Amino acid sequence: MYSVIFFGTSEFATPSLKALIDDPRFSVVGIVTQPDRPKGRHQVLTASPIKELALANSISLIQQPVQIQKKKHSSDTDQDAFTKWIKSVGATADVFVVASYGKILPQWLLDIPKKGCINVHGSLLPRWRGASPIQSAIAEGDEKSGITIMMMDAELDHGPILSTKETKLGQDETGGQLHDRLAVLGSEILSDTIDGYLKGVISLKEQDHAHATFCRTLTREDGEIDWNQDCRKIERKIRAYDPWPSAWTEVNGKRVKLLASRIRPNDASYAPGAKFVYNGHPSIKCDHNTVLEITRVQPEGKNPMDGDEFTKGNEWK
C-alpha cells in the first residue's frame, strides 16, 4: 500500500481525493488545505470542500498558513506548526499529490516525499501553464483540452509528464461544465498513473518547453467585456468565465453579468458598436460585422433572468 499526503482546496480536487481514498492501493495519511474563507453575501467563514472530505473520512488534516515560507524554518508560530507537521507525517509518504491547491510549493516541501510530488493539472501541458487553464482553453477557442498528471519541480507547471487524457470541447461548453468534466477525468487516471510510476512501469516524459503557453490568476475585473472585439471572441469569453469570474458590462452605471449569448447573422442596418434589442434580447453590433445577442443576464443585486425580461425594465444603451 502506497502512502500519500494530499494537497487540495477547491471542488476540482475532490474527485481525485475520493479516488485515492477509495482505492485499496493507497493510504491517504494526511491532507493539507487552505484556511477557511469568508463566503457568500454574508461572508460566512466556510471550510474548503477538501477539508469537509477529510473530516468525513477522519483523515489527519492541517490548514496551512496563508503563505508557506520558502525556507524550512520560520519564527511564525503557525508556520512552525505546519513545518513540523509536514516533515513528521510527510517523511512516511511515498508521494505528495497536489490538485487545485492554490499555492506554490517551495523546493524544501517538494523534497520531502520519497518519490516526489505529483500534480493533477487541468490542461494538456505544455499548453496553459498557470492558474486559469480551463477558462483559457475555452476563451481562446481550443478544440480540445484534458488532464495532465505530472511531476512537480520548482517552476510553474514545468515538470515532466506521467500521463495525459484529452477531451474534445463542446461548442456551447462553459467554464463550469469543463471544470466538472476535467475534475472527473483527472480522478479516472490518477490512481493507475501513480501506481504505474511507483512500480517503474510509467516513465517520465519531458515537456516541449518551446511550445509552452501561460495563463494567470483571474480577477473580477478581467470579466469586463470589450465590445470592440469580434463577437466570436466575446461569446467564448462569456462561456469561459461562467461561473468565475463572470463576464460583465455596465448598463446605466451598474454591472450586469452576461451569463449566456449567441451569435446572430450580420445586420447591415446597424453600425459597429450599436446596441439594439433583437427578439426582445439585448444585442450589439461587434467587430467584423458580427452581432451578439445576450440571452441571459444577472443585473447587480438581482437574480439571473432571461435577456427579454431584462429589456422590459431596463434601457439597453
Whether residues 173 and 309 share a domain: the answer is: no
Rg of the chain on CA atoms, in Å: 22
Residue 225 shares a structural domain with residue 110 = no
Q: Are residues 164 and 36 in the same domain?
A: yes
Give buried/exposed letters for 210-231 (b at 16+ CB in 10 A, else e): eebeebeebeeeebebebeeeb
Domain boundary among 165, 183, 215: 215
Residues 98 and 72 in one domain: yes
For the chain, how many structural domains are there in total?
Answer: 2
Tell me, what CATH number does 228's domain have? Answer: 3.10.25.10
Give CA–CA dist 223/234, Å, rounded: 10
Q: Assess whether 149 and 102 both reside in one domain.
A: yes
31 touches 59 (CB < 8 A):
yes
pLDDT tens sequence across 139-148: 999 999 999 9
Q: Are 199 and 257 in the same domain?
A: no
What CATH number is given to the structural domain containing 136?
3.40.50.170
Cα 222 to Cα 128, 180, 218, 300, distances in angstroms: 17, 22, 6, 17
Q: Give the separation between CA 172 and CA 177, rounded to whole angstroms.
A: 10
Burial class (CB in 10 A: 0-12, 13-18, 19+), 45: exposed
Range of the domain at 31: 2-215
CA distance 305 to 299: 8
- Kindly give the pairing relationship between strand 95-99 and strand 2-8: parallel
Does the bond joining 65 to the residue before it have cis omega, within 30 degrees of 0?
Answer: no
- Does residue 95 sit in the same domain as residue 123? yes
Residues 136 and 151 in one domain: yes
| Blockwise average pLDDT, block size 10, the chain, 317 residues | 96 98 98 88 87 96 72 60 88 96 91 97 98 98 98 96 98 97 98 98 97 97 93 96 97 94 84 87 86 95 95 87
Residue 261: CA count within 13 A, CB half-sphere: 30
Extract the runs of DSSP E, i.e. beta strands, from 24-180: 26-33, 37-39, 44-46, 61-63, 95-99, 117-121, 129-130, 144-151, 161-168
Domain final residue, candidates 192, 215, 238: 215
CA distance 304 to 292: 19
Q: Report how far residue 294's alpha carbon sits from residue 303's, in angstroms, rounded to the nearest whole number.
A: 16
Query: CB under 8 Å to 302, separation ≥6 — which residues?
Result: none
In this structure, the answer to whether residues 188 and 235 fall within a common structural domain is: no
Q: Which of 158, 185, 215 is the last residue of a domain?
A: 215
Q: Within this chain, do residues 229 and 115 fall inside the same structural domain, yes or no? A: no
| Whether residue 27 sits in one domain with residue 141 | yes
What pLDDT is stored for residue 272 in this prediction? 82
Distance CA 82, CA 80 (A): 5
CA distance from start to end of the chain: 63
- Residue 126: cis peptide before it, omega within 30 degrees of 0: yes
Nine cell digits for residue 119? 500534480
Q: Give the per-residue pLDDT at 314.
A: 87
Residue pair 300/315 in contact by the 8 Å Cβ criterion? no
Q: Same domain for 207 and 224? A: no
